[in-house]
Amino acid sequence: MKTLWPTARNLTSILSSAVDEQSGDSPLTGKVPFFGKLAFVDLTRETVVLRDIPADHFRTYLGGPGLVLGELLRLIPVGADPLGPENVLAFSPGLLAGAQVPGFPRFTVLALSPLTGALGKSEAAGYFAPELKKAGIAAILVQGRAESPVYLWVTGQGIEIRPATHIWGADPKVAQGIIRAEVGEPRARTASIGIGGENLVSFAGIGNDLSHFNGRNGLGAVMGSKNLKAIAARGAGDLDVADADRMRELYRTASDLAKTNPLTRTLHELGTPAGMELSNAAGCLPTNNWQSAVFADVDKIGARRLTDEFLVKPGGCYMCPIRCKRLVKVDDPLFAVDTEFGGPEYETLAALGSNCGVNSLEVIIKANELCNIYTIDTISVGMTISFAMACYEAGLLTAEDTAGLELRFGNNDAILPLIEDIARRRGPLGRLLADGSAVAARRIGNGAEQFLLTVKDQEIPMHDPRVKTGLGLQFALSPMGGDHWFAQHDPFFATETSAGTVAFASIGLDEAVSPLDLGPDKVRMVARSSFLHGLYDDLGVCIFAAVARSMTPLDVIVGMVNAATGWQASLPELLRAGERTNTLYRLFNHRHGVRADRDTLPSRFFKPFADGPLAGKQALDPLEFAQAVRLYYAMAGWDPETGVPTHDTLHGLGLEGFVDLL
Ligand code: SF4
């Protein structure tokens, strides 16, 4: 029998040879200051201003979202149109992105979201952020709107605004090739939008290096609204860290852990798709718009088949030995894909597969490629299609609405044409669904809301809060709407020897708490780990490369920060920075009118499972859930009723300069 978990296979050679393949990591000449500049690009005025950032500002806010949230609070006016020139789009690498340590390739894109009307925030890994940092850039804030399409060219010499009319409408690979030829730099790294972003699809994302995505919250539509096709970057040298010998030592420590950590090994072997079979066996795999929790054909679309029949090789990110990404090919010419656009993750397999009743892995792989070419978010598009299928089966959408398309669960043939229509805003159904399921439900009316699975109008990811109650709190409390990276997941704390209970003892999360518990211990886990996730994003560590999921423990992370910066920062100090970031998220939403009444869950989760091993069980209790939300507010130092950060909290975090926003 095949097992999902790697057995005795020794991955050492695979993991170490992986780094050698990363040709783009080759050393550049010269040294670039570790702390870069803040770049303000005004596309309306066609100006670029590079501003130095005081050293103590970095120590307080680190990088990533923390570094730019204050600017976004200052620059985006109340009542701004998310697709108007007054919105500001920030690209902010984590503090350690570009340093020669494994697992820190991430950057955050932020703006007011066109999907939620709240904070838009989405992380991506890859090679783009290290390149920005090596060009001396700590973050870029894009304001205004270009008169005609443009791209940015970022180097150690500065930032140029260049015309992009000739690549508007081109797919990201073509655009990348043309840009690289124009700038004369074949190793330039590009972040760009496809036609989904150009057509202002509300859940359009941004792709870098073709296969890494800031997928959520519609930030690709914000980029499209600014007529910004792409940002290309090439560094000027390696980052000048404070203690290079110590960095090398910590690199070796993390790399050694990568070879032995069992979760790291599973990620390398099977990638995130491993979640398909595991969720189905547990009776919580989103199926047919979450009306079911088991999918009979899971083996046809699961990790094992993906690995055995379609995997070309694992793909990866800057300096990371894990290489958890799936690079795939399909032999059937009907579904042939370009391997460079990457393969489906767990979220995609579930959202476009079981969640739509689709049992063809070839269709899902092709659908994933189309979404990546058009840069539209696979979670939102899968959830929006499954919502439409539920409406169709209930008679709320008719064959007239769908131009004859049989929009039933399990119709494999419906998926690919519908993705085309959505990305192009083509036809009545494409236009209806391109603004997301929440807007579509309001337009359809007649009770269509009963099929909605959104929080703050963003479609939820593929994790059921009935078996992970803390995950339900994350969905409700995440400033970005339905999101599964706001805090740690419950199973990591299920027993006293679980990965999270062991890894986070140093931050007081050393007690086991059941995934089904929704009491104070669970709220405490969510609160503390939400601060930790603020820190992870500020530093740019990939969630799959950091504990509890993988190789890099907290003390190693603290060591890397200090070796890179020359600080003597402690874990509590860094965690405080994560808490500061989390509070700034909340302030942003408060300023833009997003209040506590939107910290909710879809009604589906207050009913028991309909089928599978958990049939008739696990309904969340609405009163207990509301109480847990209020307790989170209190633990975060926010008013327990309104969820607004208190004056005392702002002062305690050194955010007194933002008190006026309350
Ligand atoms: S764990 Fe995977 S996604 Fe994260 S940095 Fe490594 S290869 Fe990239």
pLDDT at 662: 80
Instruction: Say how far apart CA 403 and CA 149 lie, in whole Å.
Output: 33
Question: H helices within 292-433, ranges in order?
Answer: 298-301, 303-305, 346-352, 361-374, 378-393, 412-424, 427-433
Give the bridge partners for 119, in sequence order: 112
Q: Among positive and negative, which fits the CA dihedral 561, 563, 564, 569?
A: positive
Mean pLDDT of 81-97: 98
**What Å distances lie between residue 249 and 34, 535, 571, CA to CA?**
19, 22, 19
Answer whether 313's CB lies under 8 Å from 325's CB.
no
Closest CA to 355 of 330, 388, 329: 388
At 70, list the tokens.
């204050």
Segment 398-451, tens digit of pLDDT: 999 999 999 999 999 999 999 999 999 999 999 999 999 999 999 999 999 999
Read off the DSSP letter of residue 139: E
516 C-alpha to ligand 1 centroid (Å) = 29
Q: CA–CA separation, 3 vs 342, rounded Å? A: 24
Please name which of 385, 444, 41 lies closest in space to residue 203, comparing C-alpha atoms. Answer: 385
Q: How confident is the model at residue 28 (pLDDT cuts 50, 70, 90)?
A: low
Mutate to test the pocket of ligand 1, among 14, 257, 317, 537 (most ligand atoms within 8 A of CB): 317
Angle at 312 between CA 547 and CA 374, to 5 degrees: 80
* Backbone Cα Rg of the chain: 23
Q: Are strands 37-42 and 137-143 parallel, antiparallel or unpaired?
A: parallel
Closest CA to ligand 1's atom 2: 324
Angle between helix axes 378-393 and 361-374 (nearest 10 degrees) is 120
pLDDT band per the 50, 70, 90 thresholds, residue 16: very low
Atom of ligand 1 nearest to the CA of 543: 4
Give the pLDDT confidence score for residue 30 in this predicted structure.
78
The answer to whether 104 and 62 have CB atoms below 8 angstroms apart is no
Q: Rounded to whole angstroms, how far apart are CA atoms 429 and 491?
A: 39
Of all protein residues, whose CA lies closest to atom 8 belonging to ligand 1?
Answer: 317
Query: What is the rounded CA–CA span in Å between residue 415 and residue 407?
Result: 9
CA of 515 to the centre of ligand 1 (A): 26
pLDDT by residue (tens digit) across 438-473? 999 999 999 999 999 999 999 999 999 999 999 999
Average pLDDT over residues 304-325: 95
pLDDT digits (tens, 9 = 90+) for 605-630: 999 999 999 999 999 999 999 999 99
CB 277 within 8 A of CB 304: yes
Q: Is residue 515 a contact partner of residue 494, using CB atoms and an 8 Å limit?
A: yes
pLDDT digits (tens, 9 = 90+) for 355-372: 999 999 999 999 999 999
Single out the residue of 586, 578, 624, 632 nearest to residue 605, CA to CA: 624
Confidence of residue 29 (pLDDT cuts 50, 70, 90): low
> Residue 608 in contact with residue 615, Cβ under 8 Å?
yes
Model confidence at 10, pLDDT cuts 50, 70, 90, reads very low
Residue among 101, 323, 346, 552 whose CB has most ligand 1 atoms within 8 A, to mutate:
323
Residues lining ligand 1, CB < 6 A?
103, 105, 125, 316-317, 320, 322-325, 542, 544-545
Instruction: Tell me how far the alpha carbon of residue 471 lies from the centroid of ligand 1, in angstroms.
Output: 22
Asked if 36 and 63 count as a contact pair (C-beta separation under 8 A), the reply is no
Q: Residue 512 C-alpha to ligand 1 middle, in angstroms?
A: 28
Q: Would you call 521 helix, strand, or coil by DSSP?
A: helix
Domains of the chain: 11-240 (3.60.9.10), 262-455 (1.10.569.10), 469-550+570-661 (1.10.599.10)
Half-sphere exposure of residue 290, counting CA atoms within 13 Å on the CB side? 26
Token match 């990546």: residue?
Answer: 372
Looking at every residue in the chain, the average pLDDT score rounds to 94
